Amino acid sequence: MNKAQLIIEATLKMSQAVSGLDFIEEITHIYNPLVYAWDAHRVYIERFAGNRKKVIFLGMNPGPWGMAQTGVPFGEISAVKDWLKIEEEVSRPAKEHPKRPVEGFLCSRSEISGKRLWSLIENRFGNPEKFFQEHYVANYCPVSFMTETGKNFTPDKLPKEQQKALFDVCDIHLREIAEILEAEWLIGVGKFAEKRINEALKKQIESSKIKSGTIIHPSPASPAANKGWAEAVIIKMAEYGLWT
């Protein structure tokens, strides 16, 4: 069985496990694009997860106008359609929030974080094949949470017991993809992802089997990201001895 198929099986197992968890009443809507946008995510894995990776970039969870629409991590519509050349039919979540409609590849909203990430990658590598020779992009948690108002509820805000149940599942999956892809580096996109890498892969990092690092999250909500984000990432990757 090739690496992509192993990733597919591990992803389906993780998605099913997370879907079986219960969360606080404040969370009224849960979107799992690995269910309703699975076809696009499966194509992403089949196309780009078939070989050993030097670096895995890890995000937190799906953004409302990115992966929640396309099924691809940091899935800015134009980047997924025009650069990654992925465009599959997307259905809808079982319970959809009127302020966060899922329109799939017809969505006209832009996911700024994804636009920044994939634009940097495209500008540096030119084509997907060159980037994915040694790199992969994944998310730690497969679902996005919303309150009744449509406000995003991040996984780190969950009560401790529910957080532990979710993180246990996601940690297992993170270790699985790191092992399957024989990753040398895990780079957290933001501090949350960095923390989860260091906790989930503590033994591998302490034994020097895997190295970990972080880059600034590209969210427009971050003042640091709004001041030369791409340049800061290039500098940080060079400091790690990558992208030299």
Write the pLDDT tens digit of every residue in 160-218.
999 999 999 999 999 999 999 999 999 999 999 999 999 999 999 999 999 999 999 99
Phi-psi region of 43 (alpha: psi -120 to 50; beta: other; left: phi over 0): alpha
Residues 6+ apart with CB under 8 A from 169: 14, 17, 18, 21
Distances (CA, A) of 157 to 64, 161, 175, 188, 192: 18, 11, 23, 18, 11
Report the predicted TM-score, pTM, of the whole model to 2 decimal places.
Answer: 0.97
Torsion (CA) 244, 76, 193, 39 in degrees, nearest 10: -110
CA distance 201 to 112: 29
pLDDT of residue 1: 79
Tell me the CATH architecture of domain 3-239: 3-Layer(aba) Sandwich (3.40)
Where do the domains of the chain lie? 3-239
Model confidence band, residue 244 (pLDDT cutoffs 50, 70, 90) = confident
Q: How many CB atoms lie within 10 A of CB 96?
A: 13
